[in-house]
Structure 1
Amino acid sequence: MPGRTPRTPLDRLRTPRRFPGFLKTASVCVLIAGLLSPLSQMAVAAETATATDYCGGQCSDILPPGENGNATLAQILLNQAFGTQPSHAEDQLGPYANLATGYSALTTDKINTFFNDASFGVASGQVASTESPAGRTDVTIVRDKKTGVPHITGTTRYGTEFGAGYAAAEDRLWLMDVFRHVGRGQLTTFAGGAASNQGLEQEFYRNAPYTEADLQAQIDNAVANNGTRGQQALADANAYLAGINSYIDASDSGRYFPGEYVLTGHKDSITNAGTIDHFKITDLVALASVIGSLFGSGGGGEVNNAVSLLAAQAKYGVADGTAIWESFRERNDAEAALTVHNGESFPYATKPDDPQGEALPDAGTVTQEPLVYDRTGSAATATAATTATTAAATALSSARRGMSNALVVSGKSTASGHPIAVFGPQTGYFAPQLLMLQEIQGPGISARGASFAGLSMYVELGRGQDYAWSATTSGQDIIDTYAVELCQDDYHYLYHGTCTAMEKVEQKNAWTPTTADGTAAGSYTMRVYRTKYGPVEYRATVGGKKVAYTTLRSSYLHEADSIIGFQMLNDPDYVNGPAAFQAAAQHINYTFNWFYADSTHTAYYNSGDNPVRASGVDAEFPVWAQAAYEWRNWNPATNTADYTPASAHPNSVDQDYYISWNNKQAKDYTTASWGDGSVHRGNLLDDRVKKLVAAGGVTRVALVKAMADAALADLRAEDVLPDLLRVVNSSTVTDTAAAAAVAKLQTWLTAGARRTETSAGSKTYANADAIRILDAWWPLLVKAEFEPGLGTPLYTALTANLPIDETPSAAHGPTGAHAGSSFQYGWWSYVDKDVRAVLGDTVAGPLGQKYCGGGSLTSCRDILISTLKQAAALTAAQVYPGDDLCAAGNQWCADSIVQRTLGGIKHGNISWQNRPTYQQVVEFTSHR
């Protein structure tokens, strides 16, 4: 709901009335004292065994809020009552937040004021604790004093991975348990029937409705298809699981397990009755399916594309409507910011000259396939539960939309002659964080960095001995929609001419009373119908024939495959330069942009299993489920096909610089994302890094400053407002209210158009009125500029493809309020191209026609001034209506970032920054 703080996926953990009745007695004091004795208080002065480190003290990283994501019941109660924090629960939040006001004065010796030293090992004076889990002599876990990050050193491969599992459970057991249940569609049975829990499991079950057999088959196939490395991955996973389960047993026996298990009824705080289920290998695939769905599954949306195309054709006629639609789609916009910017072309998913097999729905017939059935005992109706987006699902969906960024500069342009990288994933802000930090040193493994909790048998983003790597989500299209013609009834379809039954997959969930939001005990069933072409997502008619629209993605039934690529990235004997790095990334089937830096080279590779489509198939729209339009050599039994070769994926070595903020990868490479046009948040990085490279002598400090400055920039103000003001000022502004607003906007623009505090901790923006005016003006001006010309049906359909706005405070936007990530999705490019066209500028790849004022500069100016006056008249309370966290009118708070709780510990909000959640700053000084 606009204006409301997103509720947590486990809302009931917040609510005191959910605590067991024993808390009303005096025994609570004794209980708290008994629970405050975790293993983490053991400290032994010792120095870790380390691998050779070629970073020379110039590798740093940060991951808020803190490494410790587990809390006992007592620690949760103390946090909720007094705000106290468990050790290392939020010690990285302050440094991360402070960069927003501290970056302008940054110097080399201050970098680790805002980041952690990411060198290998722990100096003896910085050792906080040392343990050999389960009494093993082949692995040691050392934690440092500053951050509590686990440094795992093993003398055997099994022991190393056992230690990795044990450390993961020490830091994220509850979160791992939540996500294995989310991945199986079983969160409500595990954690209760709160609306947010229901929404969260529904969000992911529709995309990956896997049976236990499906999960096991993924493991079997990944092992069988990858030889020795596949066997090693299986052995690593089993050792990792043994470590997790060893910690479960130890914490249960010692009664220091996460307190959320008590609050959700899985454990009794007095008798210790109840169990924490051991993890099994299929749980890892369930976890991977959630992460893959969030960050590595580009594509889809073909039905929505078809709906907006039909609206355009209804407005303008087939030929002109198609041309107008294509201009808004911006498949290959000439003005788009590119990661590979040397002019090299990588054609993929381009528009065919003569499209074949399209199956566009009849207008008005599309309905979404129901997911929820047989609901009992819930205050919500089945229809509402099926269609509503709960706050929890929105919170995790924002992670999918938020994505990541990268700035990498070749040694040719740096002061030292060594490449520099500032990069990381923008995975959203959660407590505990989805990622966790670790260092792993053992036979065949030498890496430090971040991994998703429960998948941390390898470092997934980080550094090796003499190289570092990171990723951004790429979004190229690996998902297609097929129209299966129905036969016999609504649950049979034609497959190669034979009437075939759909497979019904169900997950039945039940919960007991009473959750914090008042949901009573109840149950419901999630039901997905699967075809050989994937799960059914929509139904419609095409030319009067009843069809089901299915969604087929290349990573479906293959979530486990990418483990091989991550294993390679952690192997110091494998990665010895850019070519090996790119070869490792080729084994990752998720849609990511991968970046690399060592002391001499930089590199880039775009990963993902890109299916080879049949000739003439347009990836933008649904096609008929017929053999002629299937992926080439597609095998429905295994969901495998021909994929484009590595050379066809955007890739590069030693380009002068690379930037990525989920922008277009390269010329002719079409992603599934709308908005890859003339104005994209990638421009905020590209403009700054290009300027640094042109000047030469780039340093770590300069590159961090460029990132931090872009992180505070308002994209609309920096790249669109100047042209809007050109229109407004094309004649003297005589209206006093409009003139005052223009003056404020111009002053802000001259000052840099950033959303920054007046001083550190002031919680008040400089140029606050100008920011308020633009926040209010943008939605008004977009609607007034485009809706009259497009007509309401087409305007509405296009906004379903691409929301008009995504400001930091926009609860109505795709990311939601307090999410950090901003300006990824919006109509900035459309406004920019249209206004420049009206001004008479040359526009490469213009929109199909001029919209602002019908193309008249005078009329366009009138529209802008009218909407500007409306915006300026709105109060702060109207623009920022307030929510559970912020009072109405509190602009800074409305923008602020919240660590959305996935457990019992809460943290304070921090000032807005548009930057990666986990971030590295690296400059290697030498190489093996």
Structure 2
Amino acid sequence: MPPRMPRRRTRRPLRTAAVGAVVAAVLAAMPGAAIAGTTIAGTTIADATPAAARANTAPANNDYCAGQCNDILPPGENGNATLADILANKVFGTRPAHTDDQLGPYAALASGYPGLTDDQLDSFFNDASFGVPADQVASTTSPRPDVTIVRDKATGVPHITGTTRYGTEFGAGYAAAQDRLWVMDLFRHVGRGELSGFAGGAAANRQLEQSFWQAAPYTEDELQAQIGSVAASGPRGQQALADAQAYVDGINQYITQSYNGRYFPGEYDLTGQVNAITNAGSIQPFKLTDLVALASVIGALFGSGGGGQLASAEVKEAADARYGPALGDQVWNSLREVNDPEAVTTLHDGQSFPYAVPPADPQGTALPDPGSVVPEQLVYDATGSAASTAATAAPGVLPGNLLTAKHGMSNALVVSGKYTASGHPVAVFGPQTGYFAPQLLMLEELQGPGISARGAAFAGLSFYVELGRGQDYAWSATSAGQDITDTYAVPLCTTDGSPVTLAAQSYLYHGVCTPFDKLVQTDAWSPTTADSTPAGSYSLVMYRSDYGLVTARGTVGGQPVAFTELRSSYDHEVDSIIGFQMLNDPSVVQGPAGFQQAAQNINYTFNWFYADSQHTAYYNSGDNPVRPADVDPNLPTWAQPAYEWQGFDPTTNTAQYTPPAQHPQSVDQDYYVSWNNKQAADYGSATYGNGSVYRANLLDSRVKALVAEGGVTRAELTQAMEDAAVTDLRGEDVLPDLLKVIGTAPVTDPQLASEVQQLTAWQAAGSKRTETSAGSHVYTDATAIQLMDAWWPLLADGIMHPGLGDQAYTALTGALQINESPSGGQTGATSGSTSANESIPHKGSSFQYGWWSYLDKDLRSVLGQPVAGPLAQQFCGGGSLTACRTVLLTTLQQAAAETAAQVYPGDSSCSAGDQWCADSIIQRPLGGVTDANSTWQNRPTYQQVVEFPSHR
């Protein structure tokens, strides 16, 4: 008998009350409408703004930072260029005002930080004070009578002041469109899987829309349902919806005015949206669901954590095959470093926050049969250029690997007032969102009823400041990446009793054969001025189960299954709006407790940091699902009731989440550092590489030394950040181990001895990648740096490959890439293998992902030094110190034989062999205007330097 068929469920139905809330809030947000007391469909909308905040309609002067708040966001605030601007940039190299004026000061810190004083900070950062002095006003605009947008001469940042809540948010939308309309339009299409039809069918455009459709596919009704869900959450949700609608109204007014006045972004001309001669065409107005699509993109990029269980399973199975199940599991466990005792943690006062730590005897694990896993097909019915490989080299409007490639994240350095010169906390922090022209983020100041903040926000979501400062406090975040995404093995089935194969379109849910939801997005494109790819079309298809999205198929014990990924924030992309609203509200954030309360309302995985004049604080946000105690979150799990998240409801994708008290948090620790490292002891992560050497070590060692000395200033903390930013992690924390092994005997070969001496001198000088002088484009210790760049991938191969064997070595590179150098070009190969899973070139952020810890632990073990949490096997030279030394010298000799052109092979921006250029940061163009390369530094994109001398 075939399994019985259930009735089809409707996913997240939009309840009548939610509809009433949506309609009421939208109507209330119209110009001149009053929000309080509106009742539609039984829902009364209250004013969420506290009375005290409502009474203060112009809080622009409530600035307690006294000129000690700074920020920077390269390349510049202005992200809109007309067609004439773009053509002038291509022909004459000119750029519109404020397009790149923050790039120079940002780049200059790499050479200017030694000897930095507090008085010199304004040379490298913007003044982030509230308001604009009268003599610094560049322009004043009032798109409505109840809002004024003032732009300053120095940076062109919009300072938005509203006498009403609606006017404030309207102005935020208007200013966002002025500065980022094209970027916003790109990303609302990316979030819907429609980029190619909008901006051309270049291969990169297709790659990008495919990756996002795989991560967050929604129907239009489901996007609308998320809006309804927020509106039904209470007064703050209703206020957020009204704010968002006012924001959209502001965007749309700018679209209408710029189209009629013909000063809209020139990319609309270049992509054929508008005829450059006749002005025929249109710029589609924005709607609320566009903001949900935008939020899904940002959440997928920066606020999701976990996943990767299939890759981890492959490492386990390969290790078991190599060493046998018992020793193989020990090797696998030591390589994943889930709770490594030597890992640098943000909370270092002995706190423990157990979460996602593997159980001793896991149950429900579903390991795929080796070789059976097949990625899920995504593209169907391809025609024209979509079915051809002829246009694969065509450039896209966005990097195709924006989501799929591993990107660097963010850092934070915060010191308690007990250890500063002034007695007030000092913070240097910011997100690393990548380098783009224009940026994904934009700067703004918002002042209005219940809102008082200045900082950065993602374009298209800037109705609240997302990272920045309030009247007497500042906050920032780093991506946390704790495990909120699990992989399930879902048994396949057929509804007609036919044999079950991997092609089956139904699955077992609690014993019932249930068809997958089929989410289809069809995209078609024509050639455009900017993209000569021939016309084409295809359909993107994602299958969704009650256990998440289907990412692959395979067999477990011979049984056909679909492997799905279930993310707790899926279908809840906009829930975090409440937390951001609270961070902007001075009546909520009056100290650490209010800050942590706001952060608790953010469901994305972030580490949040706070500083005011008296206190510092930290909180790790995210909807952390509660798993059964016997489930290992690091491996695929059988899709059975016994192994589901506790309280799991698939119709709403909700579950029981760990309570706030169980999230890593702290107030007034002596200092905090984060560079996407481990949060606290016992706080597990599915990410490999949180071991003894991680790039956060560069921050921790420097800030710890400052705190021990005391009297820390803003300039000194900035120096600590920047000194770490120009340091090669491999040189500082692994090269000493390498030199110790080599130094156990004399190096008799004169050439090798010279190379060892160069590396020794570089390490003694601080392992810096800095220019001989500002603008020289030549590195001090250039030869040693080239040696290290060429040596590392050969080292990793020479040390680890023989012991792991081909299968485990390859599997481990899939779970954690070997190297992430600044240039991203070293892909060394020996023994028939390659380590080509390098970083993206020219992206700045480096040394987050790599085998630094593996080599450090193994080399110290071979040297006979104590190692807490050692690898289960000694790899280098099979554990023989003599043989290990031979491996190091042999691979160093191979590295020295490589020419500069081999180490730095060149690309469309750099000649082969140009070391500085290979490292250099490029602001990846998201539009028609490009910027010059800048010197490498491993640093946040947007960054604040703050110290508040007083408090409300």
* Same topology, TM > 0.5: yes
Over the aligned positions, Cα root-mean-square deviation in angstroms equals 1.6
Aligned partner of 1:844 among 844, 868, 871: 868
How many residue pairs get matched?
877
Alignment correspondent of 1:159? 167
Alignment correspondent of 1:31? none
**Which whole-Å CA distance do the structure 1 matches of 2:685 and 2:592 have between them?**
25
Alignment correspondent of 2:919? 895
- Per-residue CA deviations over 1:540-580 (Å, capped at 9, x if unaligned) read 00111000001100000000100000000000011100011
Aligned partner of 1:461 among 460, 467, 474: 467
Alignment correspondent of 2:824? 810
Aligned partner of 2:877 among 834, 853, 857: 853
Greater shift, 532-541 or 376-385, is seen at 376-385
Distance 1:678 1:383, change over 3 A: farther
Alignment correspondent of 1:729? 743
Alignment correspondent of 1:530? 544
Task: Give the secondary structure class of the aligned counterpart of 1:406.
Answer: strand
Aligned partner of 2:931 among 907, 921, 924: 907
1:208 matched to 2:216 = yes
**Which whole-Å CA distance do the structure 1 matches of 2:469 and 2:238 have between them?**
24
Is contact 1:199-1:390 (8 Å) kept? no
Aligned partner of 1:868 among 892, 906, 911: 892
Distance 1:65 1:390, change over 3 A: closer
**Which whole-Å CA distance do the structure 2 matches of 1:411 and 1:893 have between them?**
41
**Which whole-Å CA distance do the structure 2 matches of 1:611 and 1:177 have between them?**
33
1:883 matched to 2:904 = no
Q: Structure 2: give runs of 5+ residues left out of the alignment.
A: 1-57, 495-499, 826-835
Alignment correspondent of 1:593? 607
Displacement, 1:399? 8.3
Alignment correspondent of 1:68? 78
Displacement, 1:392? 4.5
Aligned partner of 2:429 among 423, 446, 456: 423
Alignment correspondent of 1:239? 246
Structure 1 residue identity aligned to 2:161: T
Structure 1 residue identity aligned to 2:293: A
**Which whole-Å CA distance do the structure 1 matches of 2:795 and 2:531 have between them?**
38
Matches within 5 A, 1:309-348: 309-348=316-355
Structure 2 residue identity aligned to 1:295: F
**Which whole-Å CA distance do the structure 1 matches of 2:354 and 2:722 have between them?**
33
**Which whole-Å CA distance do the structure 1 matches of 2:374 and 2:752 have between them?**
45
Structure 1 residue identity aligned to 2:802: P
Alignment correspondent of 1:604? 618
**Which whole-Å CA distance do the structure 2 matches of 1:388 and 1:644 have between them?**
46
Structure 2 residue identity aligned to 1:254: G
1:54 matched to 2:64 = yes
1:539 matched to 2:553 = yes
Alignment correspondent of 1:362? 369
Aligned partner of 2:261 among 227, 239, 254: 254
Alignment correspondent of 1:685? 699
Normalising by structure 1, we get a TM-score of: 0.93
Distance 1:166 1:103, change over 3 A: same
Distance 1:318 1:392, change over 3 A: farther
Distance 1:266 1:448, change over 3 A: same
**Which whole-Å CA distance do the structure 2 matches of 1:889 and 1:640 have between them?**
53
Aligned partner of 2:442 among 429, 436, 447: 436
Is contact 1:398-1:816 (8 Å) kept? no
Matches within 5 A, 1:104-503: 104-133=114-143, 136-225=144-233, 227-378=234-385, 381=388, 392-393=398-399, 396-397=402-403, 401-488=407-494, 489=500, 490-503=504-517
Greater shift, 864-873 or 143-152, is seen at 864-873
Distance 1:399 1:177, change over 3 A: farther
Displacement, 1:513? 2.1
**Which whole-Å CA distance do the structure 2 matches of 1:544 and 1:515 have between them?**
52
- Per-residue CA deviations over 1:379-402 (Å, capped at 9, x if unaligned) read 7658998x9999954552388621
Structure 2 residue identity aligned to 1:921: V
Structure 2 residue identity aligned to 1:106: L
Is contact 1:399-1:426 (8 Å) kept? no
Displacement, 1:245? 0.2
Is contact 2:62-2:471 (8 Å) kept? yes
Alignment correspondent of 1:571? 585
- Per-residue CA deviations over 1:202-222 (Å, capped at 9, x if unaligned) read 111101011101101111111
Is contact 2:309-2:686 (8 Å) kept? no
Structure 2 residue identity aligned to 1:913: Q
Task: Give the secondary structure class of the aligned counterpart of 1:343.
Answer: coil
Matches within 5 A, 1:621-640: 621-640=635-654
Displacement, 1:815? 3.5
Task: Give the secondary structure class of the aligned counterpart of 1:396.
Answer: coil
Alignment correspondent of 1:88? 98
**Which whole-Å CA distance do the structure 1 matches of 2:911 and 2:387 have between them?**
28
**Which whole-Å CA distance do the structure 1 matches of 2:79 and 2:521 have between them?**
29
Displacement, 1:106? 1.2
**Which whole-Å CA distance do the structure 2 matches of 1:558 and 1:389 have between them?**
33
Task: Give the secondary structure class of the aligned counterpart of 2:114.
Answer: helix
**Which whole-Å CA distance do the structure 2 matches of 1:103 and 1:223 have between them?**
48
**Which whole-Å CA distance do the structure 2 matches of 1:246 and 1:365 have between them?**
54
Task: Give the secondary structure class of the aligned counterpart of 1:104.
Answer: coil
**Which whole-Å CA distance do the structure 2 matches of 1:515 and 1:167 have between them?**
28
Q: Structure 1: give runs of 5+ residues left out of the alignment.
A: 1-47
Alignment correspondent of 1:16? none
**Which whole-Å CA distance do the structure 2 matches of 1:516 and 1:524 have between them?**
20
Displacement, 1:622? 0.8
- Per-residue CA deviations over 1:63-110 (Å, capped at 9, x if unaligned) read 000000000000000011111010100000000000000000311111
**Which whole-Å CA distance do the structure 1 matches of 2:794 and 2:554 have between them?**
34
Is contact 1:314-1:321 (8 Å) kept? yes
Task: Give the secondary structure class of the aligned counterpart of 1:486.
Answer: strand
Alignment correspondent of 1:699? 713
Displacement, 1:51? 3.1
Task: Give the secondary structure class of the aligned counterpart of 1:346.
Answer: strand
- Per-residue CA deviations over 1:151-198 (Å, capped at 9, x if unaligned) read 000000000000000000000000000000000000000000011110
Structure 2 residue identity aligned to 1:696: G
Greater shift, 915-924 or 814-823, is seen at 814-823
Greater shift, 489-498 or 808-817, is seen at 808-817
Distance 1:398 1:140, change over 3 A: farther
- Per-residue CA deviations over 1:678-702 (Å, capped at 9, x if unaligned) read 0000000000000000000000010
Is contact 2:822-2:841 (8 Å) kept? yes
**Which whole-Å CA distance do the structure 1 matches of 2:291 and 2:92 have between them?**
36
Alignment correspondent of 1:102? 112
Is contact 2:300-2:403 (8 Å) kept? no
**Which whole-Å CA distance do the structure 2 matches of 1:787 and 1:582 have between them?**
46
Displacement, 1:497? 0.5
- Per-residue CA deviations over 1:480-536 (Å, capped at 9, x if unaligned) read 011110111510110110111011111101001257665211101110011111110
Normalising by structure 2, we get a TM-score of: 0.91
Structure 2 residue identity aligned to 1:203: S
**Which whole-Å CA distance do the structure 1 matches of 2:618 and 2:406 have between them?**
21
Task: Give the secondary structure class of the aligned counterpart of 1:791.
Answer: helix
Shift >3 Å, 4+ stretches: 379-385, 387-395, 397-400, 514-518, 811-815
Task: Give the secondary structure class of the aligned counterpart of 1:248.
Answer: helix
Distance 1:663 1:384, change over 3 A: farther
Is contact 1:403-1:426 (8 Å) kept? yes
Is contact 1:71-1:259 (8 Å) kept? yes
Structure 2 residue identity aligned to 1:212: E
Displacement, 1:201? 0.5
Is contact 1:479-1:553 (8 Å) kept? yes
Structure 2 residue identity aligned to 1:409: V
Task: Give the secondary structure class of the aligned counterpart of 1:764.
Answer: coil
